[in-house]
Chain A
């Protein structure tokens, strides 16, 4: 479903990703953990084309978004095709990034209409079904400024789902929320995991990573240090590096 091969990225002289390779298969839920600055968010942003990689390849559903040429430099597809390939990915942000001037319903409808060319009726039907799913059907006509953080994040998840992505990514989806609201967002993500959706979740919630993810990836200094089944990476047999990190995060 997703193949990341030997990806490197630097901001100026600072290497943020140093040869990251990773595969995600259909239906898999992968959690990425690590300290701030380990490159986990940058990796997620590269996969969603919010950052460009310097070298390596990113292949989504068999189509290369970026592929390294003979010299190793990453070459991206042209605009329209790139946008089409990127639509296979969905991303939920830490701070939601809902469109404040659109109602909740319009946040879900407009992208479907403008990007996928769905009719308004079709888009609205889909949007209402998704709002129902995240428990916010009664908020369809509200504006994001009148919702709580947890509600905003659930709208953002519904908005991402409305575009029918093949892989849904989350960039620290609960870091801006207090524990009560964190719970309501995580239970939505858990529900999606039960439906066998392919997901990549960058998170600080260790319990969530252990319980929901099929696989956990631990990153440090721009490389993947551990990659394995959740029980193995976070279980009692965990490595010294993960032990140290998990110890710091109080899990």
Chain B
């Protein structure tokens, strides 16, 4: 053991992986910022009565959920410059691929949540004179948020760990930093230190969602 029994070396190792942690947190945060609203839009389009709209969206969701995220990372990083002639830096490509992928999962969670709202809620809103937009934002959406918290927390926890996939297009995130360190010092210990960091992050995610869950516990439906 080089690190776990030597606090000074441990701290030096953690400090050397600081940039990696920042990159991991950036991928995580920006993916959520983009994929959650995008997922809501995709969910609504998927529920469109018009086949011209819902069919391509179904195909999109099938492809995003049906192929490896690792492959999608390659596709975004290498194919976009090839077909569109724009060069994406590694970080941008990663956030784009993650957002497109996670939006598909969030969309299906949101769709399930929206469909679980009883038709009576729409009918009461209609009789009271709400417009469809008011009904969605004031009556349906707040109830959907409560109902999707659990499946959404699952996705967010998975995302924390999936950020490590970015190392395959050589983004210097936490896992890559740990791997480099591991080969430099010829020990697997840095990888476990990285593992500890993912675990801590997910501990924070779990705490956040249980706090959110409590905030929505003021009513039962």
- Chain A interface residues (CB < 8 Å from chain B): 48-50, 83, 86-87, 89-91, 93, 95, 97-101, 110-111, 114-116, 143-145, 159-160, 163
Binds A, one of B32-40, B100-108, B138-146, B175-183: B138-146
Cβ-defined partner of B142 (8 Å) among A86, A95, A97, A101: A101
User: B49 at interface (Cβ–Cβ under 8 A)?
Assistant: no
Least Cβ–Cβ distance between A223 and chain B, in angstroms: 25
A100 touches B129 (CB 8 A): no
Q: Which residue on chain B has the smallest CB distance to residue A45?
A: B123
Q: Which of B187-221 contact A (CB under 8 A)?
A: 218-221
Complex: how many Å from CA A99 to CA B218? Answer: 13
Complex: how many Å from CA A160 to CA B138? Answer: 18
Known contacts A115-B130, A145-B221; decide if A93 and B120 are in contact (CB<8 Å): yes
Q: Which residue on chain A has the smallest CB distance to residue B141?
A: A101
User: Which chain B residues border A83 with CB–CB below 8 Å?
Assistant: 129, 131
Least Cβ–Cβ distance between B146 and chain A, in angstroms: 7
Cβ-defined partner of B124 (8 Å) among A86, A93, A145: A93
User: Which chain B residues border A95 with CB–CB below 8 Å?
Assistant: 120
Least Cβ–Cβ distance between B114 and chain A, in angstroms: 15
User: Which chain A residues border B138 with CB–CB below 8 Å?
Assistant: 110, 114
Least Cβ–Cβ distance between A60 and chain B, in angstroms: 13
Known contacts A114-B138, A145-B220; decide if A99 and B127 are in contact (CB<8 Å): no
Cβ-defined partner of A50 (8 Å) among B126, B129, B142: B126
B123 touches A97 (CB 8 A): yes
A100 touches B220 (CB 8 A): yes
A97 touches B130 (CB 8 A): no
User: B134 at interface (Cβ–Cβ under 8 A)?
Assistant: yes
B129 touches A97 (CB 8 A): no
Known contacts A114-B134, A115-B129, A163-B129; decide if A100 and B221 are in contact (CB<8 Å): yes
User: Which chain B residues border A97 with CB–CB below 8 Å?
Assistant: 118, 120-121, 123-124
Apart from A97-B121, A100-B221: 5 A-B pairs, beta carbons within 8 A: A83-B129, A116-B129, A143-B218, A160-B128, A163-B129
B121 touches A90 (CB 8 A): no
A91 touches B127 (CB 8 A): yes
Q: Which residue on chain B has the smallest CB distance to residue A49?
A: B126
Among B123, B127, B129, the most chain A Cβ lie within 10 Å of the Cβ of B127
Cβ-defined partner of A145 (8 Å) among B121, B143, B219: B219
A86 touches B129 (CB 8 A): yes
Q: Which residue on chain B has the smallest CB distance to residue A86?
A: B129
Least Cβ–Cβ distance between A111 and chain B, in angstroms: 4
Complex: how many Å from CA A115 to CA B142? Answer: 19
B123 touches A93 (CB 8 A): yes
Q: Which of B15-64 contact A (CB under 8 A)?
A: none
